[in-house]
Amino acid sequence: MTSLTKKKSYMSEEDNAYTQQLKAFQVLQAFSIEELLGFTNNGGVWNHCPDGDIELLDYLRKFNERIHGAGPPGGPLNFCPGLFGGFEQFHEDSALYSIANLFEAKETKTLCLATHFPCGMAKKHKHTIQEVVHMAYIAHIRFCTDLQKRLNALLVMAGFPHLQLKSDRVFSFFHGAKLISGIVEENTYIFNPYKYAEHFVTS
């Protein structure tokens, strides 16, 4: 039998050390199942990277089966013009339309942005874990500013102004996979963009 796992990649020791640093500064925080259920409304809309390196949604369905996914490969990286090597304006636009449609279809006002590492799309464009985490931050901040306005304009246009996105309904997640002594360990953390800005962004 051929092993599909051969194709899987995992965080290097250096990548792992960086995530430990992020955890120490509370940029990456553990969360409970109850919290996840509490802050999503009807499951929320998840913008995630479906490149298959890590099936984040499969993992999260263990916590919550009502997850509605939207977005092209790269997930939140597609909201990072000038940073993501695979950025295309039409991907950003179509992802926004998908999110607006799912807000309407599922009557939710919660947006969850999920990045992962290793990420096939990030690898394709030679991005490091530091760059991926920085893009997670940029995408989150944009959904609290310009992208929030564009999404809300789409919802108004579609006749669903009551579903408008608010900054406090944007949540970011980071899913990492590592191999320790031959055992795969995968974890999803909530990503705190404000802690990241405090400790990792130099002005």
Nearer to Zn ion, 84 or 171 (CB): 84
Q: Is 177 in the site for Zn ion (CB under 5 A)?
A: no
Both tokens assigned to 159: 């006749």
1-60: contacts with Zn ion (CB under 5 A): 49, 51
Q: At its nearest, how many Å lie between Zn ion and the CB of residue 119?
A: 3
CB atoms within 10 A of CB 74: 31
Nearer to Zn ion, 78 or 148 (CB): 78
Q: At its nearest, how many Å lie between Zn ion and the CB of residue 74?
A: 6
Which DSSP string do the residues of 159-190 spell out, in sequence order?
T-GGG---GGGEEEEEEEEEEETTEEEEEEEE
76-135: contacts with Zn ion (CB under 5 A): 119, 121
Q: At its nearest, how many Å lie between Zn ion and the CB of residue 73?
A: 6
Nearer to Zn ion, 171 or 174 (CB): 174
Is residue 48 within 8 Å of 78, Cβ to Cβ?
A: no
Nearer to Zn ion, 123 or 150 (CB): 123
Size of residue set near Zn ion by CB under 5 A: 4
- Nearest by Cα to 119 from 170, 156, 85: 85
Q: At its nearest, how many Å lie between Zn ion and the CB of residue 151?
A: 22
- Nearest by Cα to 151 from 192, 113, 193: 113
Both tokens assigned to 163: 């579903």
Report the distance separating Cα 117 and Cα 125, nearest Å: 13
Nearer to Zn ion, 26 or 69 (CB): 69
Q: At its nearest, how many Å lie between Zn ion and the CB of residue 127?
A: 10
Q: At what angle do helices 13-24 and 129-142 cross, to 10 degrees?
A: 40
For residue 201, which phi and psi values (nearest 5 degrees)? -110, 120
Footprint on this chain of Zn ion (rule: CB under 5 A): 49, 51, 119, 121
